[in-house]
Structure 1
Amino acid sequence: MSAADRPRSGPPPSGRARRFAALVRKESYQIVRDPSSILIAFVLPLVLLFIFGYGVSLDAVRTRVGLVVEAATPVTQDLAASFRASRYFDVVPGRDRRQFEEDLVFGRVRGIVVIPAAFAGDEAGRGGVPQIQVIVDGSEPNTASFVQNYAQGVVATWAAQRGAETARPSSPIAVEQRFWFNPELASRNFLVPGSIAIVMTLVGTLLTSLVVAREWERGTMEAMMATPVTAAELLAGKILPYFALGLAAMTLCVLAAVFVFGVPFRGSIVALYALSASFLMPALGQGLLISAATKNQFLASQLALLSAFLPAFLLSGFLFEIGSMPRAIQLVTWIVPARYLIPSLQSVFLAGDIWPMFLRAIGVMLAMGALLFVLAARSTAKRIA
């Protein structure tokens, strides 16, 4: 038998390429025609970005406090003026701390600053050490800590200025604070980049699991698998359009972060897209695995939220410091892909390119993605067999 008469073991490369291109084209048309895909990919990310940019803030600015001046003297009035001029406090004046007790209980004020009647005499050296009293609501520890620290800062600044005016000897040690990368300590500058990872999780995992599970429900997945297409080709054909969709959603969020929210961008476009593309691999792989394992849209959406969105939101360092978590929870965070993306994105925006850090994160995310794709391909083939 001649070589020309031998049966071929598979389709020619050109036929395989056309078949793959047809799969990608079919999936792209489905995305364009599906309003829910556009909603999740472009509208929902902007909504989340605006919520984290404007609605969520960890900055204690203009905190409402009651300011009690028990004795109106030039010294106490000068200190009270420093509290009123501080951008951290919204001051409500008073003459007795008891008039603010009910407000503190009901949360109308977050603290009470009391300048006692003996403060002026103590400050002039006629008594003990000058003191003020700060009463805060301990049921909100973060806000209570902010009020206490900012009140101490106002008093320290006032004392330094008064010492310079009265020519009193000052402390021989002066502490000058400098904050790198985020001098204003604005929480928006690290919340908005972190929220981009949350958006990419939704687009990559939730959207992929819903759309593919819908095809399982309608039977179109089995119909495609009845053709000569392989499980690997089918998964790859579905990945590429959603991969491009995820990068498009990321680009939209980055443009909004820089031009709408004013977040600085000090890194490079290359680093941004390399990190984002690497993160989409485990996100898409997880969505495909969930859809292949469930074949049900409702169940797929619940699993995607529980296994992807909530871990990315709670266990990635986005809102809660990983180092402050229990040791067992810290170990769980190692398998959360967003743990590696969020610090890298924050570095790209605020610090610039730190390639040793980026390459390690990219390698881990690609390894996770490869593992999830292998599991998704095996699960898809087993479901069809």
Structure 2
Amino acid sequence: MNISTPRSSETLGPAADLRRFDLQRLRALIYKESLQALRDPSTLLIAFVLPVVLLLLFAYAVSLDAKQVRIGVVMESEGASAQALAAAFAATDYLDAHFVHDRREVDNKLVSGELRGYVVIPQDFEQRMALRNSEPLVQIITDGSYPNTANYVENYSRGVVQSWRTGLDVGAPPQAVVLEPRYWFNAELESRRALVPGAIAIVMTIIGTMLTALVVAREWERGTMEAVLSTPASVAEILIGKLLPYFVLGILSTLGATALAVFVFNVPLRGSLTALMLLSAVFMVPALGQGLLISSLARNQFLAAQIALFTGFLPAFMLSGFLYEIDAMPAWIRTITLLVPARYFVDSLKTVFLAGDVWAVFVPNLAAMAAIGVLFFMIAKRATRKNLE
């Protein structure tokens, strides 16, 4: 007499999981995980308080705008032309000029960082003006420890001198072509309008990857995950039940961050809210999948936090185009950025906020994020199934 013994879900494989998928059990797991998230103050802080703090920092503390840069103007000449040039420096809104008569008064300020550079109007300024030769009219000294600001001070100081000198030459023929630059999508060139949408991607990365990795790793640490794995629930039910509450938290956090961006920081939302929510929902797939994968490999919170920091947060911050343009990176770094989900999300967020619903940009980004997310989940499910064996 042959007696057949039932095979476990590990032996039957994924098909058994699909046959045993039970919505009632899934609802119970989601309810249990939601209660656990709501009762955990750290989860609520990360989901709702940290986004506000980060957006405030990136909106006000971090700025790529070069305005009111402090410089010195050393007036060694007291002539009328020198006074007129000094007035041109005082009139611009982009340079905060401080006038002195001896360069020794600004040398120490440049060393201490109080000034970012200074312009010297030499004693023979009037003679140089009269000769009209190739000899420079002024000397421009900048602080090279801040290369971008140094280039800005040099170029804008040159522009002030050239514009002032052109205005003096009344006998010059009028320009046949007048160039009027126009800037699309961010006409005011305010860095806040580019930083705040990118900050939303950083917030979503923290919620999706770091929070998920920490929460699931904490259960491994406390031994409660083994109890969940020993229940009749399938692997798919456990994974969905674990991640769905944090998916909802991420979407709610995105809505809150969007409201702050539009109504507090005056960042325009030229696209639709539907497109924004679709992009956010798809981005949560690789973010949650990465967090789940980290937690399945690291069984304690400290290790999970370190891995999430180096594989989730830092790549999203450095390699997504949030602060540094990807096109300016070396070729091998640009190749690595193709594996960073935040790269596609930051690009899409800037588009939906500043340009509108450009589906020619959205569709490839959505496909890339979904593909990376599916890869993470496949690896995470395989690792979780191993824990059941």
One fold, TM greater than 0.5? Answer: yes
Partner of 1:82: 88
Shift of 1:126: 4.0
Query: Identity over aligned residues, as a percent?
Result: 52
- Are 2:56 and 1:44 equivalent residues in the alignment? no
Between the aligned partners of 2:250 and 2:293, the Cα distance in structure 1 is: 18
User: Structure 1 residue 118 and structure 2 residue 121: aligned?
Assistant: no
> Equivalent residue of 2:113, what SS?
coil
The answer to whether the aligner puts 1:176 opposite 2:176 as a matched pair is no
**Counterpart Cα distance in 2 of 1:10 and 1:146:** 64
Superposition pairs for residues 164-313 of structure 1, below 5 Å?
Answer: 166-313=170-317
Structure 2 residue 360 is matched with structure 1 residue 368? no
- 1:10–1:68 distance in 2 versus 1, CA, 3 Å: closer
Retained in 2: the 8 A contact 1:340–1:361?
A: yes
Residue 37 of structure 2: aligned partner:
31
Matches of 2:86 and 2:176, distance apart in 1: 27
Displacement of 1:302: 0.8
Following superposition, which runs of at least 4 residues in structure 1 exceed 6 angstroms of deviation?
9-15
Q: How many residues align?
A: 374
Correspondence 1:100 to 2:103:
no
Decide whether aligned partners of structure 1 residues 323 and 10 sit closer, same or farther in structure 2, where only a CA change above 3 A counts. Answer: closer
In 1, Cα distance between equivalents of 2:20 and 2:368: 34
Q: In the aligned structure 2, how far is the partner of 1:63 from the partner of 1:265? A: 30
SS of the aligned residue for 2:22 comes to helix
Secondary structure of residue in 2 paired with 1:93: strand
Which structure 1 segments of 5+ residues have no match? 1-8
8 A contact 2:75–2:122 mirrored in 1: yes
Q: Return 269-278 or 196-205, whichever deviates more.
A: 269-278
Asked if structure 2 preserves the Cα contact closer than 8 Å seen for 1:160 and 1:170, the reply is no
Gapped regions of structure 2 (runs ≥ 5): 1-14
TM-score, L = length of structure 2 = 0.91
- Say if 2:154 is the partner of 1:148: yes
Q: CA–CA distance in 1 between the matches of 2:17 and 2:330?
A: 55
Q: What is the TM-score of this pair, normalised by structure 1?
A: 0.92
Contact 1:84–1:90 (Cα < 8 Å) also in 2 = yes
- What does residue 353 of structure 2 align with? 349
1:217: how far off?
A: 1.5
The equivalent of 1:128 in structure 2 is: 133
Q: Deviations over 1:338-384 (max 9, x none)?
A: 11111110111111111011010000101111111111111111012
* Cα displacement (A) at 1:161: 3.8
Residues 1:75 and 1:12: Cα distance change in structure 2 (over 3 Å): closer
Q: Deviations over 1:59-115 (max 9, x none)?
A: 111111110122222322122112112111111101232321222122121111122
CA distances 1:215-270 after superposition (whole Å, capped 9, x unpaired): 11222211122111011110011121111100111111111111111111111112
Equivalent residue, structure 1, for 2:11? none
Query: Is the CA contact (8 Å cut-off) linking 2:17 and 2:236 kept in structure 1?
Result: no
Q: RMSD across aligned C-alpha pairs, in angstroms?
A: 2.0
Deviation at 1:14, TM superposition (A): 11
